[in-house]
Structure formats: C-alpha cells, structure tokens
Structure 1
Amino acid sequence: MLDVTVIEDPAAAEVSLAPIRARLLAELMEPASATMLAARVGLPRQKVNYHLKALERHGLIELVGERRKGNVTERLMRATAASYVISPLALASVQPDPARSRDQLSARWLLAVAARLVRDVGTLLTGAAKARRPLATFALDGEVRFASAADRAAFIEELAAGVGALVLKYHDASAEGGRDHRVVVAVHPTVKMPPAGPAEPLPAADERSAAVSPTEPSTGSPTDQPV
C-alpha cells in the first residue's frame, strides 16, 4: 500500500467522491471482505459488493487474498493507498493556470500554484512508477509566528532575496544534460484544525462530496518562486 496516490482519471475521481465509497476506502486500510464491511457500515453485502467492484475497476482497491467460508469464497480487498489526492487533470478543461495572473500576494494565485504542484507531482509519480525509478524531490514544512505585519513583510522580502540568490548561484542554462527543476516557496497563515469528532453516518443515497488537499513539491523550471 502506498502512503498517498494521485487520482488523475475523471471517472476514478467521481467514484472516489461518493461518501459510501470513501467510507469503504477508509475501512480498507486493512484487508476485508464484502461481508466484513457490510457488518461495519450497516449496508447489505450485495450493495457493498457493488461499490467494491466500482472501486476495484478504477484501481482504488486491490485483491490481496481469498478465503473459504462455507460454500463461498470471500475476496479480501485492500485500498491501494492510505490517502488519495485528486489531480487538477481530473478537471483538465477548468484546471487552475498560474500563468493567467501572476500576483505573488494573491491567495488565489497561490492556490493555482498549489494545484499545479499536485498535477505535476502526480504526473511525475505516475511516470516514475511505470519506469520503476525513484523520483527526486524535496520539501520543507514548518511554522513561524510573526510579532507584526511588518515582520512578516520583512521575512518575505529576505526569503525572496535568499531564494533568488540561490537560483542565480546554481542555475546553469547552458549545462548539457542538465535537468530543470521548479522551486516553489509559499507563505500563508496556519489553519487551526478543529478536534476530530465521531464518524459521520453513511447517507441513505449515493451522494457525492469531497475535501481534497494538495501534498508534495514538484520539479520543473528554476525561475518560478512564488512567495
């Protein structure tokens, strides 16, 4: 099982967004059969089986074993990843484009950059997996508390200057066989998450909703440094 995987196919994204199927994905962090899941989520086994087949068809779960139970052979399924991120490629015609408006102080531009980050890293991960090769990336993640807005502005100015100096130092446009990398640096207020509550009951209908967050850094041009 992977820690995280990126969903690029629109049909797979649609399947994963159904609350019932999202609940089944969460239950399948450990192998389970349709019968076991039916008891956990309070649905008929036939309906659970229907949803499992849809998840399996789109590569979101996989068969990890079988076992005999009376006259029936139960299929043990497991999620292919511990978590999933939906790539903007799933909505390719309306995916965000940072090139439309480059405003380093715009939260919406930052969101477009983050969406491109998810798209690019997802594409790179897919290619690396097919080629059976590792993917070289790096990320920093931390928090800083500013005493004032003036301190924040000074921090951003120094950060931009420092990153710019590093780019100038190491960027070699004439290097034969060199590989371009994208550098992304972002600063935004910390989101305070509420404490986790009890699990929501399954809806009666096959409704669709989701909350998806971006993840890792990507590679590409060294000249794009949003702050």
Structure 2
Amino acid sequence: MHEVDVIEEAGAAATALDPIRTRLLAALAEPASAATLAERVGLTRQKVNYHLRTLEAHGLVHEVRTRRWGGLNERMLVASAASYVVSPGAFGAAAADPSRSTDRLSARYLIALAARVVREVGGLVRRADTEQKRVATLSIDTELRFASPAERTAFAEELAKRVSELVARYHDESAPPARAYRLVVGAHPIPTDVGADRA
C-alpha cells in the first residue's frame, strides 16, 4: 500500500468521492472482507460488495488473499493507498493550468502551480512504479513568521535573488532533457483552522 496515490482518471475520481466508497477506502487501510466492512460501516454485505467491485474496477482496492470462513471462500481486500489526491488531469480541459494566469503573485496562481505539481509528479510516480524505480525529488517544507509586511517583502526579494543565483550557477542548457527539473517555490499564510480539516 502506498502512503498517498494520485487519482488521474475522472471515473476513478468520481468513484472515490462517493461518500460510502470514501468510508470503505478509509476502512481498508488494513485488509478486510466484505462481511467485516459491512459491520464497520453499517451496510449490508451485498451493498458493500457492490461498492467494492466498483472500487476494484478502478484499481482503488485489490485482493490480497482469500480465507475460508463459514464454508465459503472470503476475499480479503485492501485499499491501494492510505490516502488520495485527485489530479487536475481528471478535469480534462478544465484542469488548473498556471500558464492561463496573468497574475503571478495571486493565490490562484499558487493553486495552479500546486495542481501542476500533483499532475506531473503523480504521472512520474505511476511510471516509476511500473518500472520499479524511484523518482528523484526534493521537498522543503517549513514555517516562518514575519515581524512586519516589510520583513515579508524583504524576505521574498532575497529568496528570489538567491534562487536566481543558484539556478544561474547550476543550470546547464546543454544537459539532456531527462535531467531537466521544475523548481517551484511558494509561500502562503497558514490557515488558523488548519487542524479543523484533519479532524
């Protein structure tokens, strides 16, 4: 099971976003049978089986083993990942695209950049999984507080200058396309209710 998986296909996204199926995916962090899940989520076994077949058809759950139970062979299923993100690619032509933004300093441009990261890195991970390889990435995540708006502006200017200097030092136009990386730097206020959506 992956820690996180990116759902690229629109049908899979619609399937996963169904409230009952979302509950089933969460309950399948550990292998379970339809009968066990039916007890956990308060549905009939038949209804659970219907939803499991739909999830399985989209590759969101898979069988890990069977067990003999009460004279029957019972399938044990598990979710493909512990958590999911829907790729903007699932929206087709309506997907977020930073190239459509005219305001590079707007919050919506930052959302479009983040969406592109999900789409691109999700695609890289899928290919790497198929080839049993790893994707070379770099992530930096930190928090900071500014004493004033002027300090925030000064930080942004200095960060842009330092990043530009590093890019100029290491960028090699003659390197093969396979060695090209996208660098995205973003900052946003931390919502005061950031824990509320995790409860």
Aligned residue in 1 for 2:36: 36
Aligned residue in 2 for 1:224: none
Aligned residue in 2 for 1:110: 110
The verdict on how the C-alpha distance between 1:95 and 1:174 changes in structure 2, with shifts beyond 3 A counting, is same
TM-fit CA distance, 1:42: 0.6
In 1, the alpha carbon distance for the partners of 2:175 and 2:121 equals 24
SS at match of 1:134: coil
- Give a deviation string over 1:79-99, Cα, whole Å, max 9, x none: 111111111111111011111
Amino acid at match of 1:168: A
Amino acid at match of 1:174: S
TM-fit CA distance, 1:103: 2.6
RMSD, matched Cα: 1.4
Aligned residue in 1 for 2:51: 51
SS at match of 1:67: strand
Counterpart mapping for 1:149-188 below 5 A: 149-176=149-176, 179-188=179-188
The verdict on how the C-alpha distance between 1:33 and 1:177 changes in structure 2, with shifts beyond 3 A counting, is closer
In 2, the alpha carbon distance for the partners of 1:62 and 1:56 equals 6
TM-fit CA distance, 1:72: 1.6
SS at match of 1:66: strand
Aligned residue in 1 for 2:136: 136
SS at match of 2:62: strand
Amino acid at match of 2:89: L
TM-fit CA distance, 1:68: 1.1
SS at match of 1:35: helix
TM-fit CA distance, 1:178: 6.1
Aligned residue in 1 for 2:148: 148
SS at match of 1:173: coil
Task: Extract unaligned runs of 5+ from structure 2.
Answer: none
TM-fit CA distance, 1:177: 6.7
In 2, the alpha carbon distance for the partners of 1:178 and 1:73 equals 48
In 1, the alpha carbon distance for the partners of 2:108 and 2:144 equals 22
Amino acid at match of 1:140: I
Aligned residue in 1 for 2:121: 121
1:191 aligned onto 2:191? yes
Aligned residue in 2 for 1:210: none
SS at match of 1:26: helix
Aligned residue in 1 for 2:15: 15
Task: Extract unaligned runs of 5+ from structure 1.
Answer: 198-227
Q: Which has the higher helix share?
A: 2
The verdict on how the C-alpha distance between 1:177 and 1:84 changes in structure 2, with shifts beyond 3 A counting, is closer
Q: Identity, % of aligned pairs? A: 53
TM-fit CA distance, 1:102: 4.4
In 2, the alpha carbon distance for the partners of 1:87 and 1:150 equals 36
Higher RCO, 1 vs 2 (CA within 8 Å, ≥6 residues apart): 1
Amino acid at match of 1:164: S
Aligned residue in 2 for 1:200: none
In 2, the alpha carbon distance for the partners of 1:101 and 1:123 equals 23
TM-fit CA distance, 1:19: 0.5
The verdict on how the C-alpha distance between 1:176 and 1:114 changes in structure 2, with shifts beyond 3 A counting, is closer
The verdict on how the C-alpha distance between 1:156 and 1:20 changes in structure 2, with shifts beyond 3 A counting, is same
TM-fit CA distance, 1:126: 1.1
Instruction: Count matched residues.
Output: 197
TM-fit CA distance, 1:101: 2.1
